[in-house]
Amino acid sequence: MAKPLIFMMGRSPAFLPTDRQYTKTHMWAMPTEDGFRFGLSAYAVRLLGDMRHVQWSVRQGDRLARRQKIGYIEASKATTDLFAPMAGKLTQLNPAVPSDPTLLNSDLYETGWLLHIAGQTTELLFPEQYLTHLEATWPLAQRMLKGQVGGQQQ
């Protein structure tokens, strides 16, 4: 496998494999024969912290609209909704993740994948484009993180 790109989140590196594409909502996308397999990027996992619970609100076989709410994730730092990264038919949900959400921390680019959607999209970023997106949005993310931490201390 090619050397990953690295985005530094303060002192913590977020590794971005170059053998896949990414969404602006911090999912990786691996092309398959009929669509894409998706998972959370290392950037998203670092922001959320240790994964504790994954809940789906969709089922295998459902037709998804892009940006449709499909479930949520509870983690040590935040709880966040999950949205469909593209329109298409949901052909598979990873059955291992709800029973062991820590896979999203320990093996996020392999066994920690989330879902597979059949279809095509032009909304994906190449790794270098995603790195540029992270560099552009990191200052805002830092301000939000600092505000969140400050709010917890008061």
Model pLDDT for residues 27-40, shown as the tens digit of each residue: 999 999 999 999 99
Of 87, 89, 90, residue with least CA distance to 123: 87
* Residues 117/36, Cβ–Cβ less than 8 Å: yes
Tokens representing 79?
């709880």
pLDDT digits (tens, 9 = 90+) for 45-90: 999 999 999 999 999 999 999 999 999 999 999 899 999 999 999 9
The full set of domain ranges for the chain reads 12-146
Higher pLDDT, 147 or 12: 12
CATH fold label, 12-146: OB fold (Dihydrolipoamide Acetyltransferase, E2P) (2.40.50)
Q: CA geometry: angle at 64 spanning 32 and 113, to 5°?
A: 45
Q: What angle do CA 54, 153, 135 make, to 5 degrees?
A: 60
